[in-house]
Amino acid sequence: MGNNILKRLAALAVCILLFLPVLNARAENHAIIENLPVYVDGNLQAGVIKTLHYDYAFNRYVSLRDMGLAMNGSGKSFNVSYADETFDIKPGEAYNARGGEGGEFGSAGGAEDPYKTGGLKNSLLSRNGEMLKYSCFTGKNGSGIQDVFVSIADLAMILDCNMWFEADSLYIDSSAPFTVNMERLEAEGFYSEVASSIVGDATTGEVFSSFREDLPVAIASTTKLMSYLLVMEEISAGRLSLDEQVSIPPEAEALSKTSDGVIAMTAGETASVRELITGALLPSSNECVLTLAVRAAGSEAAFVEMMNQKAAELGLSDGCRFYNCHGLPVFTDTLAATKMQNTMSAADMFKLVSHILSIYPQITDITSQKSARLESFSREVKNTNPVLYDLKECVGLKTGTTYAAGACLVSAARVTDSAGAEHTVVAVEFGAEDSTIRCTLSEILLRYGMQRVRGDQTEIPSSAGSTELPRDAESLIRLVLR
């Protein structure tokens, strides 16, 4: 028996050795590199765009410095500076070449092959000093100059510029703004990245686009929007006030000490309802919303009953079901414990959010903040919504993530129509693979909704006139810009 164990261990060691190159290649995140020819306003540029493929083919991230050189003199020229580990994009300025721009991977003026960088990082980009939240890679080019690789879709939105792929080349029209053609994106599998989604005008109730919008799925911390509604109803009824000091219950202290804790709490300490609401919505504090639930209903169980009753009153579907006030998984008390999670469809969430915005629009006063100070807890909290940093019209609303739910985001943006009336566009996205996809997809949905409200044109160039769909699940970036 001992020999069998040794043989199995030896076989396992061989498997690990065999797979190490694969694991290392994935750790690099961009074993596939590419030198892209680029056409700007119809003209082939002298250099190329060095491109990394993150994890999968066609999930392209391009050199910002190469793009700056290629677009120099166009209607979307921009310069790049680097300081304090942040790249600042300066639209409208001529690009100041530092060396290595436009060179191919592996060439004297390009970069080593394969190109080595760290992992995806946030907060590495700014636009005229305004911090953005796009994910990107950083490293040095062949001349030793610090460079950053940005998703092409994100860069197109940052520069408000139209880009697309054709015949293995990148095309840029600097005279056209970034525009979303949702009909084409849907045909090419845009929604394959998510479990359920919808975008529409919460002011009028009109839905612009949706995908499996009636499918109930796990919703994680976007649950807290329903909890917010019930707390606000308690305030409206005079049973609570924003300035009331609420005692932290023992269960909130216990939750704060787990891996799901966000803000450290001690039972018996107090915080205002206003602070607890802010803590629940911005950093997504589970203990803050639990404290509010216990105060509003006497216990979390009673509050959950109120949540389900309110769902029925609003006419939400039978697939809308709440087990707790925050959206964390709940195990059943059975021999083979089952992990239960709050569920809702994208259509249900759109209806819920539309109701909240019509009755308690002040929610966006909180969710539009990038940070807030909670004096009772002696700490500054950050908003978990990345779109708030990238789209100036964005006013919230709520993120959510669990293993089962994936990366979820309920986002909103304000826009004025041609008659001067203000509308709020709401995009609901449930079940993205990661937060990077969640952010890009949600921003695109909001931009599309804003186009619809404004009545903008939505036509963009096709790829060499082809109507053939992608042969595999190519990246969101290729689909968006195609």
- Give residue 167's pLDDT band: very low, low, confident or very high (50, 70, 90): confident
Beta bridge partners of 432: 407
Give me the phi and psi of 195, to 5 degrees please: -90, -35
> CB 384: neighbour CB atoms within 10 A?
18
pLDDT at site 4? 52
Cβ(108)–Cβ(142) under 8 Å? Answer: yes
Give the whole-number percent of the chain exceeding pLDDT 70.
Answer: 85
Whole-angstrom distance, CA of residue 334 vs CA of residue 6: 38
Whole-angstrom distance, CA of residue 50 vs CA of residue 119: 17
pLDDT at site 465? 34
Q: Which two structure tokens, joined as six digits, stand for 420?
A: 């001067």
Section 24-31 average pLDDT:
45
Q: Which two structure tokens, joined as six digits, stand for 221?
A: 């911390």
For residue 471, what are the contacts with CB-CB under 8 A and spacing of at least 6? none
Cβ(217)–Cβ(405) under 8 Å? Answer: yes
The least confident of 82-96, 114-128, 333-347 is: 114-128
Report residue 447 CA to chain centroid gap: 14
Q: Which DSSP string corresponds to 156-169? A: HHHHT-EEEEETTE
Burial 177-192 (b: 16+ CB within 10 A, else e): bbbbbbebbeebebbe
pLDDT score of 15 more than 70: no
What is the DSSP secondary structure assignment for residue 192, as one 8-state letter? G
Q: Which DSSP string corresponds to 206-270? A: -EEEEESTT--EE-GGGGHHHHHHHHHHHHHTTS--TT-EEEPPHHHHHHHTSTT--S---TT-E
Q: Which DSSP string corresponds to 254-270? A: HHHTSTT--S---TT-E
pLDDT at site 143? 74
Q: Which two structure tokens, joined as six digits, stand for 299?
A: 């216990």
Return the amino acid letter for 239.
Answer: R
Rounded mean pLDDT of the chain?
86
Instruction: For strands 169-173 and 32-40, give the pairing.
Output: parallel
All structural domains of the chain, each given as residue ranges with its CATH number in brackets, are: 32-178+466-481 (no CATH), 186-454 (3.40.710.10)
> Sign of dihedral through CA atoms 261, 263, 266, 272?
negative
Nearest C-alpha neighbor of 126 from the set 91, 101, 160, 153: 91
Return the amino acid letter for 461.
Answer: P
**pLDDT one-digit tens code per residue, 319-335:** 999 999 999 999 888 87
> CB 417: neighbour CB atoms within 10 A?
15
Whole-angstrom distance, CA of residue 170 vs CA of residue 124: 24
Cβ(235)–Cβ(242) under 8 Å? Answer: yes
Nearest C-alpha neighbor of 349 from the set 182, 193, 199, 233: 199
Helix (H) or strand (E) holding 68: helix 64-70
- Give residue 134's pLDDT band: very low, low, confident or very high (50, 70, 90): confident
pTM of this structure: 0.84
Q: Which two structure tokens, joined as six digits, stand for 361?
A: 């629009």
Section 379-404 average pLDDT:
94
> Sign of dihedral through CA atoms 449, 450, 451, 456?
positive
> CB 286: neighbour CB atoms within 10 A?
26
**pLDDT one-digit tens code per residue, 173-203:** 999 999 898 988 888 888 998 999 999 999 9
Whole-angstrom distance, CA of residue 158 vs CA of residue 124: 13
Section 273-285 average pLDDT:
98
Cβ(278)–Cβ(320) under 8 Å? Answer: no
Nearest C-alpha neighbor of 154 from the set 475, 457, 412: 475
Q: Which two structure tokens, joined as six digits, stand for 421?
A: 């009336």
What is the DSSP secondary structure assignment for residue 111, as one 8-state letter? B
pLDDT at site 84? 84
Most confident range (mean pLDDT) of 4-18, 110-124, 451-465 is 110-124
pLDDT score of 120 more than 60: yes
pLDDT at site 44? 96
How are strands ordered across the β-sheet holding 125-127?
Answer: 78-83, 86-91, 125-127, 130-131
Nearest C-alpha neighbor of 441 from the set 157, 174, 176: 157
pLDDT at site 418? 94
For residue 341, what are the contacts with CB-CB under 8 A and spacing of at least 6? 218, 219, 220, 323, 327, 328, 329, 330, 402, 404, 405
Section 289-315 average pLDDT:
98
Section 367-392 average pLDDT:
95
**pLDDT one-digit tens code per residue, 262-278:** 999 999 999 999 999 99
Whole-angstrom distance, CA of residue 174 vs CA of residue 20: 44
Number of H helices, E strands in the chain: 14, 24
Cβ(264)–Cβ(256) under 8 Å? Answer: yes
Section 35-62 average pLDDT:
91
